[in-house]
Homo-oligomer: A and B are copies of this chain.
Amino acid sequence: MNAPRKSEPLYVRVANAVEELIRSGTLRPGERVPSVRRASRQHDVSVSTVVEAYIALENRGLIEGRPKSGFFVRSQFADARKVGRGTKPKTEGQIVAVGNLLSRLFDAARMPDVVPFGAAYPGTEVLPVSKLSRITAAVVRRDGAQSVGYDMPPGSEALRRQVAKRSLEWGTTLTPDEIITTCGGTEALALALRAVTKSGDVVAVESPTYFGILQLLEDLGLRALEIPMHPQTGMDLDALEAGIKRGRVAACLAVPNFSNPLGSLMPDDHKRQLWEILRAKGVPLIEDDINGDLSHDGLRPRVVQSHDTDGLVLLCGSYSKTLAPGYRVGWIAPGRFYARVKALKLTSTLATASLPQLAVAEFLANGGYDHHLRALRRLFADQVHRTREAIGAHFSKGTRVSNPAGGFVLWVELSGTVSALKLHERALLDHISIAPGPMFSATQQFPNFIRINCGHPWTDRREQALEQLGSLTRKLAQRSR
């Protein structure tokens, strides 16, 4: 399972070194970073490598280019590492009650003319609609009978083979036989949880975490042990270890690569440590790698599962964030829980729809998925960057915003005591959907946080909507004084 990590490209090493200078305060907000020529000498690399590194840093939201002046450390935000800090998740397993916020959020996503900052999904404008549709039409004409017939679990072999092939990129070596296809990543998570827990069990989750996970825990009668998150490195492993020592934890569910909503990326040594902590107590890890392909710097991070020698990790993925949410094509590699997950799949949905699986498999094999991914990562990095800029411009001083390493959502801490729930209600009247912070916690923490989806192309309408949100926030702040 432990395939060697590919060595990082030179430009990434340079970018990381400069990022460290910024993080440590050596380079301060507003300061000019070394010129390209100078950095080329300092790091003993070519000029073009430095340019690549600075573009990566720009994508990470750390520096910005100014015409004819060079690159500067960005200044308009407080240190993003502080976002999400200061929250003290309760340490006991919490009965989950996200209530009906989830339904309301997705209802809003169905409303016409709503600016969709709420649910985290990519706009179809950024997806390869024409190419995928052409492929799908060709597949259904060629394999009509196969499309109409059942594709019983474990599901399409063509798709499983493609997923297995790609797993080399994540530092692991899945075989097609280890994989079961699912109706999107949601079914993969639901099957994984049902396979390793029973009603009343405690599951360790990130805090903040994707509200769909909390709702799933609620629906399955599970309790959440909220583990604090570091905005850059993800789950606080000391807190996790302490939590596991305190009482029985049936499973841990984490999004190590580009968590939702924070966009954090767990470093490789943390990943190994996470696995060792869980292995010591025999706690299964449900690893949601749904954003793994969406790094902003173009590097595909490895999965925790790559360290797994015991089949203790249930690795879940999907093509909903990169290809086609509406195709509902996901997968799970459930390790030692394979038989149980396969059996549960039969009574959950019996089988995954055949045609979408065949079409995605064909796209992965011959559609230029990597080419598409490169463009998509850049696009998401750009959309995230522009949205951050607009928040900086239109929201009150003191607003803090996350600095995601991948994915396409931002986690925003509103200044003062503004209620995210009130802002959510008020913004909907103006046809703007946002995801309020309390949804991301089983204990309704994050009362003054919101998550902003950047999965749609940047437009004036979006800029105006952010301006409007900023204005609403200020009004609500005055009222609450």
Contacts and interface: CB of A to CB of B under 8 A. Distances in A.
Interface of A: 100, 102-103, 106-107, 109-110, 121, 124, 127, 129-130, 132-134, 136-137, 140-141, 144-153, 183-184, 186-187, 190, 194, 198-199, 212, 215-216, 219, 221, 323-328, 339, 342-344, 346-356
Contacts of A212: 346-347, 350
Contact of A148 (B216, B326, B351): B326
Nearest to A218: B347
B339 A353 contact: no
6 contacts: A106-B346, A124-B145, A136-B137, A147-B326, A187-B349, A325-B351
Nearest to A148: B324
A136 B184 CA distance: 21
A157 to B, nearest CB: 10
Contacts of A339: 100, 103
A86 to B, nearest CB: 30
A326 B152 CA distance: 9
A342 to B, nearest CB: 6
A159 to B, nearest CB: 13
B347 A150 contact: no
B348 A190 contact: yes
B326 A149 contact: yes
A43 to B, nearest CB: 42
A107 B147 CA distance: 19
A352 B140 CA distance: 19
A136 B347 contact: no
A328 B348 contact: no
A251 to B, nearest CB: 16
Contact of A184 (B107, B146, B327, B351): B351
A432 B144 CA distance: 26
A186 B352 CA distance: 11
B153 A106 contact: yes
A149 B328 CA distance: 10
Given A186-B348, A326-B354, 17 more contacts: A102-B343, A106-B153, A109-B152, A124-B148, A129-B144, A129-B145, A132-B148, A133-B140, A134-B141, A147-B326, A148-B325, A151-B326, A183-B353, A187-B348, A326-B355, A348-B348, A355-B356
A355 B343 contact: no
B132 A144 contact: yes
A124 B148 CA distance: 7
A121 B150 contact: yes
Contacts of A150: 109, 121, 325-326
Nearest to A132: B148
Nearest to A200: B199
A136 B129 contact: no
A328 B346 contact: no
Nearest to A221: B199
Contacts of A134: 141
B121 A148 contact: no
Contacts of A216: 347
A102 B148 contact: no
Q: Which of A124, A133, A356 has the most CB of B within 10 A?
A: A133
A326 B155 CA distance: 11
Given A186-B349, A346-B103, A133 B148 contact: yes
A266 to B, nearest CB: 25
A369 to B, nearest CB: 14
A354 B356 CA distance: 10
Contacts of A183: 183, 328, 349, 352-353
Q: Which of A130, A216, A349 has the most CB of B within 10 A?
A: A349
